[in-house]
């Protein structure tokens, strides 16, 4: 579906009485609870261009990441998708999340549900996180004047698991580059029901015989309108593994069992996020993928002022380099010249081939 079809579909759903819950485009939000409330979870995944980020700078300082600034800028600009949002869910994922959530709620008059995510993933944190999920459920029940049953949550878990299986199946065929991201973006805007209704079967995806240099991609979010993945592919790379912030698909399925406990454990312990205090196991997982898929290198994408990556990038780079794996960091804003990025990518490809 193209963006205009997606918008029409969302408008139709809204006219039929369905609520739309906006979410900052991050990991570790148990969307199943939102979906179980009958609402559509809509991830704020539009990004750039620079003019829109500049509009966000009227609210947030220029030292906030360009994604958060452009998200606020899209509200200011009257983005038709974001105008459909009834309730907004934000928290403490990062500095961009904290600032953008508060300003969006205050200046665009959208009720905000705070969802503060722990910084550690040990057992007490999982227990605390489960309480947060229960609070989220209560907030949605109060706002929408409904009751959310365990059965509804379990049904939502199976819908999302079906989607996870679909992405697992298409990943070996199409890789995890721009095409994979484009399909995820449809999910982020449409929510699971309409996505599942329109989903192609995995047989519709034909495995490509790739001649390009296979690499991993990690780091900051890549949103709709951001062409960094295509730029990388056009420079002769094939993105075979991607654990950047824009991938909310997880390798594992949510196991059966008491739904709130299963969600808490899953979301706090099965993420790809570098925003947590302990990042060594994320690095180990990345290295393991680079090794097992025999990838030639890794591209670390850092949006300026994106604190989860600004604070960990040296650690990520040093860890990979020390183990003999090539890594290229691209730090950027939405106004950075694509030509400059291409030059660096081409030099990197020559180096690792
Ligand atoms: S994760 Fe990074 S890019 Fe995303 S909102 Fe937070 S600071 Fe911005």
At 32, list the tokens.
């199943």
Distance from the CA of 258 to the center of ligand 1, in angstroms? 32
Q: Is 223 in the pocket of ligand 1 (CB under 6 A)?
A: no
At 324, list the tokens.
């003999």
Ligand 1, pocket-test mutation among 26, 73, 220, 223, most atoms within 8 A of CB: 220
Mean pLDDT on 228-249:
95
The pLDDT score that the predictor gives to residue 307 is 94
- Of 339, 213, 306, the closest CA to residue 316 belongs to 306
Q: Is 303 in the pocket of ligand 1 (CB under 6 A)?
A: yes
**Residue 309 burial by Cβ neighbours in a 10 Å radius (0-12, 13-18, 19+):** buried
- Of 201, 33, 228, the closest CA to residue 115 belongs to 33
At 235, list the tokens.
């420079």
Residue 106 has pLDDT above 80, yes or no: yes
Distance from the CA of 45 to the center of ligand 1, in angstroms? 11
Nearest CA to ligand 1 atom 2: 306
Q: Which atom of ligand 1 is nearest to the CA of 71?
A: 5
Q: How far is CA 165 from CA 13, 162, 196, 216, 267, in A?
A: 26, 5, 12, 21, 17
- Ranking 60-69, 109-118, 268-277 by mean pLDDT, the lowest is 268-277
Predicted confidence (pLDDT) per residue in 283-305, tens digit: 999 999 999 999 999 999 999 99
**Across all residues in the chain, what is the average pLDDT?**
94
Residue 170 contacts by C-beta under 8 Å, 6 or more apart in sequence?
Answer: 180, 183, 202, 205
Ligand 1, pocket-test mutation among 45, 73, 221, most atoms within 8 A of CB: 221
- Across the beta sheet with 297-303, what order do the strands follow? 237-242, 213-219, 297-303, 327-332
Q: Which atom of ligand 1 is nearest to the CA of 245?
A: 1
Q: Is the dihedral of CA 16, 19, 20, 26 positive or negative?
A: negative
Ligand 1, pocket-test mutation among 93, 188, 244, 275, most atoms within 8 A of CB: 93
Predicted confidence (pLDDT) per residue in 174-224, tens digit: 999 999 999 999 999 999 999 999 887 656 777 776 789 999 999 999 999
Residue 244 has pLDDT above 80, yes or no: yes
Residue 324 has pLDDT above 80, yes or no: yes
- At 259, is the pLDDT very low, low, confident or very high (cuts 50, 70, 90)? very high
Residue 150 has pLDDT above 90, yes or no: yes
Residue 36 contacts by C-beta under 8 Å, 6 or more apart in sequence?
Answer: 137, 148, 149, 152, 153, 155, 156
Spatial contact of 53 and 117, defined as CB atoms under 8 Å apart: no
Q: Which atom of ligand 1 is nearest to the CA of 24?
A: 5
Residue 272 has pLDDT above 90, yes or no: no
Domains in the chain (CATH in brackets) are 3-146 (3.40.50.11890), 153-352 (3.40.50.11900)
Q: Is 308 in the pocket of ligand 1 (CB under 6 A)?
A: yes
The pLDDT score that the predictor gives to residue 16 is 97
Q: In whole angstroms, how large is the CA radius of gyration of the chain?
A: 20
The pLDDT score that the predictor gives to residue 249 is 81
Mean pLDDT on 18-34:
95
At 103, list the tokens.
């300003």
For the chain, give the longest Cα–Cα distance.
59
Q: Which atom of ligand 1 is nearest to the CA of 305?
A: 7
Nearest CA to ligand 1 atom 7: 306
**Collapsed DSSP state (helix, strand, coil) of residue 5:** helix
Q: Is 233 in the pocket of ligand 1 (CB under 6 A)?
A: no
Q: How far is CA 121 from CA 144, 174, 300, 303, in A?
A: 31, 32, 24, 25
Percent of the chain beyond pLDDT 70?
A: 98
Q: Is 68 in the pocket of ligand 1 (CB under 6 A)?
A: yes
Mean pLDDT on 239-249:
93
- CA–CA dist 204, 35 (Å, integer): 27
Ligand 1, pocket-test mutation among 43, 48, 67, most atoms within 8 A of CB: 67
Region for residue 225 given its phi and psi (left: phi exceeds 0; alpha: psi -120 to 50; beta: otherwise): left
Q: Is 221 in the pocket of ligand 1 (CB under 6 A)?
A: yes
- At 147, is the pLDDT very low, low, confident or very high (cuts 50, 70, 90)? very high
- Of 73, 81, 67, 78, the closest CA to residue 24 belongs to 67
Q: Which atom of ligand 1 is nearest to the CA of 275?
A: 1
Mean pLDDT on 218-239:
96
Spatial contact of 252 and 266, defined as CB atoms under 8 Å apart: yes
Nearest CA to ligand 1 atom 5: 96
């Amino acid at each position: 579906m193209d963006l205009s079809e997606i918008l029409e579909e969302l408008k139709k759903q809204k006219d039929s009485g369905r609520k739309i819950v906006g979410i900052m485009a991050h990991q570790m939000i148990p969307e199943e609870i939102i979906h179980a409330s009958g609402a559509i979870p809509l991830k704020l995944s539009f990004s750039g261009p620079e003019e829109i980020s500049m509009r966000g700078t009227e609210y947030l300082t220029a030292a906030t990441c360009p994604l958060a600034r452009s998200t606020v800028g899209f509200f200011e600009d009257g983005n038709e998708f974001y105008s459909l949002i009834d309730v907004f869910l934000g928290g403490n994922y990062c500095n961009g999340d904290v600032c953008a959530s508060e300003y969006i709620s205050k200046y665009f008059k959208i009720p905000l549900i705070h969802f503060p995510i722990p910084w550690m993933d040990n057992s007490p944190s999982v227990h605390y996180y489960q309480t947060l999920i229960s609070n989220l459920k209560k907030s949605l029940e109060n706002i929408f004047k409904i009751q959310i049953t365990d059965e509804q949550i379990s049904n939502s878990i199976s819908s999302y698991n079906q989607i996870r299986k679909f992405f697992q199946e298409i990943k070996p065929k199409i890789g995890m580059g721009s095409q994979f991201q484009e399909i995820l973006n449809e999910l982020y805007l449409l929510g699971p029901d309409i996505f599942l209704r329109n989903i192609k079967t995995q047989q519709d995806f034909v495995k490509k015989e790739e001649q390009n240099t296979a690499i991993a991609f990690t780091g900051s979010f890549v949103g709709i309108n951001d062409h960094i993945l295509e730029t990388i592919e056009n420079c002769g790379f094939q993105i075979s593994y991607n654990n950047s912030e824009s991938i909310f698909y997880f390798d594992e399925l949510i196991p059966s069992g008491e739904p709130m406990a299963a969600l808490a454990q899953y979301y706090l312990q099965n993420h790809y996020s570098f925003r947590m205090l302990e990042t060594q196991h994320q690095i180990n997982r990345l290295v393991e993928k680079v090794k097992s898929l025999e990838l030639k290198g890794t591209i670390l994408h850092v949006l300026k002022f994106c604190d989860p990556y600004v604070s960990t990038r040296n650690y990520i780079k040093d860890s990979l380099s020390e183990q003999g794996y090539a890594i290229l960091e691209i730090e950027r804003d939405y106004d950075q010249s694509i030509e400059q990025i291409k030059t660096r990518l081409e030099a990197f490809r020559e180096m690792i081939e």
